[in-house]
């Protein structure tokens, strides 16, 4: 299976998570790319996309995702399975925690993609998030700033669930 892991990361937290996630898919043809150095069409041609985004400036997508999200309008992701992971800070930004995840989700669903890897919101303390869809995270929610000790286990469990879903 051809898997594309794409991330945007300002201080390296989402990048580190992307590398950890890729280790869990090493049996596949898996590439990890920074969205700051891709064209929108580079997202195409994969069986499974894993998309990583952090949230910045109180509810904004990470810088390198901003233009890409606009360019994704009208793109065709029919038949493409995708999963999203995010980095955020639930204590610092409880009203916009992981909003970036929701922004990516919206574009992929609009393009006809099929979302995998929803997870429970239990164990997080926040008020509002665009990344919460029907009471669940629309992917994997990571918080390096407050719950960094949980990251490895969260990634491992998520990747196991993705393998089962695929
Ligand atoms: C100025 C600033 C604004 C931020 N705004 C948000 C936010 O609105 N929501 C959120 O969940 N996290 C927010 N964060 C936290 C970052 O998303 C978090 O530190 C994340 O781990 C950064 O990941 P990155 O290094 O991969 O970009 C903010 C951080 C800073 C410094």
Which domains, and CATH codes, for the chain? 2-165 (3.40.50.360)
Q: Helix (H, G, I), strand (E, B), or coil: what is residue 30? A: strand
All residues at 6 or more sequence positions from 157 whose CB lies less than 8 Å from its CB, including other chains = none
| Residue 16 in contact with ligand 1 by CB distance below 6 A | no
Question: 10 Å Cβ neighbour count for 93?
Answer: 21
State the closest ligand 1 atom to the C-alpha of 15, by its place in the atom list counted from 1: 26
- Give pLDDT tens digits for 106-137: 999 999 999 999 999 999 999 999 999 999 99
| Residue 45 in contact with ligand 1 by CB distance below 6 A | no
pLDDT at 89: 98
pLDDT at 66: 98
| Residue 144 in contact with ligand 1 by CB distance below 6 A | yes
| Residue 91 in contact with ligand 1 by CB distance below 6 A | no
Of all protein residues, the one whose alpha carbon is nearest to atom 28 of ligand 1 is 56
CA distance 5 to 19: 9
CA distance 28 to 24: 9
Q: Helix (H, G, I), strand (E, B), or coil: what is residue 85? A: strand
- Give pLDDT tens digits for 6-28: 999 999 999 999 999 999 999 99
Structure tokens at 4: 């594309």
| Burial zone of 79 (CB within 10 Å; 0-12 exposed, 13-18 middle, 19+ buried) | exposed
Closest by Cα among 113, 103, 111 to 82: 113
| Residue 7 in contact with ligand 1 by CB distance below 6 A | no
Q: Which helix (H) or strand (E) holds 67?
A: helix 63-71
- Give pLDDT tens digits for 22-58: 999 999 999 999 999 999 999 999 999 999 999 999 9
Dist. CA 28 → ligand 1 center (Å): 31
pTM for the predicted model, two decimal places: 0.98
Dist. CA 103 → ligand 1 center (Å): 15
All residues at 6 or more sequence positions from 26 whose CB lies less than 8 Å from its CB, including other chains = none
The fraction of the chain above a pLDDT of 70, given in percent, is: 100
Q: Helix (H, G, I), strand (E, B), or coil: what is residue 95? A: coil
């Amino acid at each position: 299976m051809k898997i594309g892991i794409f991330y945007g990361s300002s201080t390296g937290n989402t990048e580190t998570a992307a590398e950890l996630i890729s280790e869990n898919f090493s049996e596949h043809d898996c590439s990890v790319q920074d969205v700051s150095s891709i064209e929108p069409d580079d997202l195409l041609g994969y069986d499974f996309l894993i998309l990583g985004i952090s949230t910045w400036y109180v509810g904004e997508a990470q810088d390198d995702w901003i233009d890409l999200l606009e360019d994704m309008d009208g793109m065709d992701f029919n038949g493409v399975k995708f999963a999203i992971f995010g980095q955020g800070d639930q204590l610092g930004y409880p009203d916009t925690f992981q909003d970036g995840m929701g922004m990516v989700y919206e574009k992929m669903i609009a393009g006809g993609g099929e979302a995998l890897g929803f997870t429970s919101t239990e164990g997080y303390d926040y008020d509002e998030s665009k990344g919460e869809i029907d009471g669940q995270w629309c992917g994997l929610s990571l918080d390096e700033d407050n719950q960094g000790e949980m990251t490895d286990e969260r990634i491992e469990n998520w990747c196991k669930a993705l393998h089962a879903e695929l």
